[in-house]
Amino acid sequence: MNAKRGALRAGIVGLGAMMLAACASSPGVDMSVPMKDGEWKGRSNADDQGAIGVITITVEGGDITSTSYETLQANGTDKDVDYGKSSSGEVFNEDYYEKAQRAVESFARYSQELTEKDDPAKVDVVSGATVAHRQFIQAAIRAISAAQGVDDSGANGVEIPGLEESTRIGDADLDKDLGGTDR
């Protein structure tokens, strides 16, 4: 009986924590602070391959009316339809390429959701695009902070995870072709 009671308590505590997290505002940005109209930019920290996310938001009437987001590889090129291919343009690992393209496709979705919801905490993560999501959120917090005229250091609380081992290709030359570094 005590084990059941302990499990019930743990479940209640876990449910309470989830409810609090769901009610919390965006990490690092207070969305109750008004935003000034204009075009505002933000950048993420680099991921473990040196890529950064760059966002531009347009604010009109205190609301985000458009969002543009891209991720630049360490060599400065956009992550686009060629992201996940070798420098010769070949798909050398179909799984890696599919994951890379899922991340690229997520950029438009993340942008649309931020424009619709006006809050980075309400932008849902796309399965397989976690690093892209975190970089998007971090860049969005910086752009929103600029629009609010407040310090953007709260964006540093959004951790940029490393790419999972399943997306690493294990070949330093090919990894370097994709903007990564020799390991």
Report if residue 85 sits inside a domain. Answer: yes
Report if residue 176 sits inside a domain. Answer: no
Strand bridging mode 63-72 / 52-60: antiparallel
Report if residue 167 sits inside a domain. Answer: no
Global pTM value: 0.74
3-class DSSP state for residue 37?
coil
Report if residue 181 sits inside a domain. Answer: no
| Amino acid (1-letter code) at residue 107 | F
**Comparing C-alpha atoms, which of 78, 92, 71, 80 is closest to residue 139?**
71
- pLDDT tens digits, 25-53: 456 799 999 999 999 999 999 998 899 99
Q: What is the rounded CA–CA span in Å between residue 51 and residue 178?
A: 10
Report if residue 29 sits inside a domain. Answer: no
- pLDDT tens digits, 98-134: 989 999 999 999 999 999 999 999 999 988 888 899 9
What's the structural domain count of the chain?
A: 1
Q: Look at the chain and count its residues.
A: 183
Chain mean position to CA 183: 24
Q: What is the CATH number of the domain that holds 44?
A: 3.90.1010.20
Report if residue 49 sits inside a domain. Answer: yes
Report if residue 83 sits inside a domain. Answer: yes
Host H or E run for residue 23? helix 2-23
Average pLDDT score over residue span 75-86: 91
Cα torsion 161, 167, 169, 170 to 10°: value is: 50
Higher-pLDDT residue of 6, 36: 36
Report if residue 33 sits inside a domain. Answer: no
List the domain range (segments joined by +) for residue 102.
38-155
